[in-house]
Structure 1
Amino acid sequence: MSPPNVPRSSGLRLVPAILAGLILRRTGVGSRPAGASEAARPDAEWDYERSDVAAGRTAWVMLGLAGTVLVTIAAVLALDHLVLGHQRAALPPLTAQQTRAVRPPPPNLQPDPYVDIDAKEADEAARLSGYAYLDADRTRARIPIDRAMALTAGQPFDPEPGPAPEPRQAPAR
């Protein structure tokens, strides 16, 4: 087990070493001389394992696993093609409406937004500076904002006191 602060290396780094060992063993380059004994080896005092991993078997197992993965992928793709092919064949053909290209309508944009902004501002200015009744019974009225601010500030409605106005009579119908 490695210390916790040492990063772990990938297991794929062993593949070239395993393949190199397999090649060396097959060619006989890495074999011991015929007269060498276990005790004469310089690493015998460290008491290492005296048997190696069977590199040939390991390579065959790895190739078998890779082959199994490839066969499985091919089988899934073949089944997918078969099953979906039968399902697609069982579907009715598409109608002309289903195959026609859909073109969305053009967006409803303002042709000249600045004219619309000016008209809205003119309408708001007319509402703020004009008199109008707010209801059909004529019980509530709207006055210009400047006049409303003057009344709120305490200025009298008529700046000069004058004679009281005569009450007018309603016109006869």
Structure 2
Amino acid sequence: MRRRRWRTLLLGVVLPLVLTAGAVGGLYWLREWDRHPAADSGRPGSWVTVGSEEVAAFARVRVPGSAGELRWAYRKGLQDDVAFLSFRLPPGGEQGFLNGLGIPLTPDAGTDLGSGVLEGFRQAGAPDPRAAGALRHGSVVADALPGHNKRLAESAWLAEEADGGTRVWVHAMDAP
């Protein structure tokens, strides 16, 4: 009789608790796996290893040959991919870059870049734009390229450095 009570207790209470805890733990793990996909998994939201040339082409930015400290990152999205570029222009190199960029800049842009943009620049290993001092900012939505069905939303931030050089940050996202 005593053995039957233990078996009933085990099957009626303990086993369902263990199964429930396992199911909850499994669902939590699946949710985290879905929210934070592994790099290069190809899943939406994953950071993808690509070359700087591919990121620059996606962002439609010509990085001058004189640029240094080039950093980049690329994130695959469910619908929209996102590219991040950062580099340093030597003194005197800014105007040539701006002529090819085609984005008008406004001074004193502030430092509210948004958490997603800051995360992208961190992923790229770029310096934090908020620590750069006075930022100039510009944004543009460009038409779709021939053979593509999406436009490009692009933002650029520039900050002058102490030696007269310029630090550049570019965020680009394809937009429907």
| TM-score, normalised relative to structure 1 | 0.21
Q: Report the structure, 1 or 2, having the larger helix content.
A: 1
Q: Which has the higher contact order (CA 8 A, sep 6+)?
A: 2
Q: Report the structure, 1 or 2, having the larger strand content.
A: 2
